[in-house]
Amino acid sequence: MRRIFFLQAIYLCFFTGLHSQIPDNDNFLVTHGPWLQNMGAGGVTVIWTTNKPAIPGIVLTLPDGSSRLVRNSTDGIIDGGGILHKVRVDGLQPGTSYKYNLHSVQVLKYQAYKVYYGDTVLGKSISFSTFPAAAPDVDFTVFNDVHGLSGKMASYLRHNDIKAQDFYFFNGDMMDWLQDTEELYGYFLDSAAYYFASLKPFFYVRGNHETRGFAARELKKWFDFRDDRFYYGFDHGPVHFTVLDCGEDKPDNNRYYYGLADYDVYRLRQLEWLKEEVKSEAFRKAKFRIVMVHMPIQKAEKQNHAMTMLSKEYGPVLQGAGIDLMISAHIHRNAFLPADKSGFGYALLVNSNNSYVEVKAGPSGLTAHVRDISGKTVSEYKIK
């Protein structure tokens, strides 16, 4: 008996001692995501987080079954060392199905002449398809004014045919404000990743509430915006999408902005971009043109400062450009103005804070279904 105790003591001393020399790399894991961003016909960005610093990569599997590890580098240095990971893959074929696994290598020590790696965590295999170069139709879903109530968005998603969607839009005010980027997960990002965002990309349209709080200026780091701007254009199937950023609602000198707002100048800069956007070949040649903007742009008497400016400055540019549909949010009620009632020649669909919109564009036209939290159709519009 004494001998057994003696051996146990030696065992404990040895292994406890040994264990204390092994760096703590237990429980290295992926904490949030992945979510797909900035999808196009030739590339996509994959974003996720780990609980400890890592070198991120994705194992990309091509349709022929061959695979390769993709890592990004900046100025010659492989990206990594943090906990927020962003890997961009380009050079893909349009309309093609690929698979990817997250590949995260824990970094235990990172010094000039000494780098210690810990565990490698390989995620499960996930499929995605690049956007087609040309396709007869497109299906997408729009969420807006979720205001941090991720359960509401989850209810929408339980009634949404995720497989049938090509992508999603978050049309602004997904939160009340952003004080700390950690809050993004609970507000909507974890729900999005759980239901669809690892397979289908979403495009973010900034609302006025995304501009509030200290971490509002960090928002771009958690996503990937085309050309690194909150306003951009892209194509899918027969549609050219133009995404606009409305900015804050009140005048820049409003006392609640404490001298930190500069949206009038920003909106004028965006306007110059919009004037070029509507001249672009992709825009002009598209069968349908859809504008996504959080605040509706229409001719109306009483509007807030931002909407008045957007109406005055942007309305005429959009009117001359032949927009088929504008999808907006912000006012927390459902509204629809046919093309002859918006004041700028396009149909305007405004979605409430208690419904979502499924849109289909194809040879038979452009249709939108507004559905409530239980998936029931609130209204249906045939636009063109």
Pairing of strands 288-293, 232-236: unpaired
| Tokens at 92, concatenated | 């893909």
In contact, 325 and 349? CB cutoff 8 Å: yes
User: Positive or negative CA dihedral for 66, 72, 78, 81?
Assistant: negative
**Only segment of 69-77, 169-177, 258-266, 297-305 that touches Fe ion (CB under 5 A):** 169-177
* The one among 49, 106, 160, 208 contacting Fe ion by CB under 5 A: 208
Give the whole-angstrom CA distance, residue 269 versus residue 262. Answer: 11
CB neighbour burial string for 297-329, b if at least 16 within 10 angstroms, e if fewer: bbeeeebbbbbebbbebbbebbbebebbbbbbb
Stretch that binds Fe ion, among 27-35, 208-216, 225-233, 345-353 (CB under 5 A): 208-216
Taking the least distance from each CB to Fe ion, the nearer of 166 and 248 is: 248
Rounded CA-CA distance 332/269 in Å is 28
DSSP type of residue 288: E
In the complex, minimum distance from the CB of residue 100 to Fe ion, in angstroms, rounded to a whole number: 34
377: which strand partners? 371
144 touches Fe ion by CB under 5 A? no
Tell whether residue 57 is a contact of Fe ion (CB under 5 A): no
Q: Per-residue string for binding with Fe ion, 26-45, x by CB under 5 A?
A: --------------------
The verdict on 212 binding Fe ion (CB under 5 A) reads: no
Q: Between 52 and 330, whose beta carbon lies closer to Fe ion?
A: 330
- For Fe ion, the binding residues in 324-353 under the rule CB under 5 A are 330
How is residue 381 written in tokens? 């519009």
The beta strand positions in 262-324, using DSSP E, are 288-293
Choose one: 103-111, 185-193, 254-262, 323-331; the region binding Fe ion (CB under 5 A).
Answer: 323-331
Instruction: State the Cα angle at 72 between 71 and 77, rounded to 5°.
Output: 110
Residue 306: CB minimum distance to Fe ion, A:
10
Residue 207 interacting with Fe ion (CB under 5 A) = yes
The residue type at 298 = Q
With contacts defined by CB under 5 A, name the span among 153-161, 167-175, 235-243, 297-305 that binds Fe ion: 167-175
- Does position 173 bind Fe ion by CB under 5 A? yes
- Nearer CB in complex with Fe ion: 246/347: 246
Residues binding Fe ion (CB under 5 A): 173, 207-208, 330
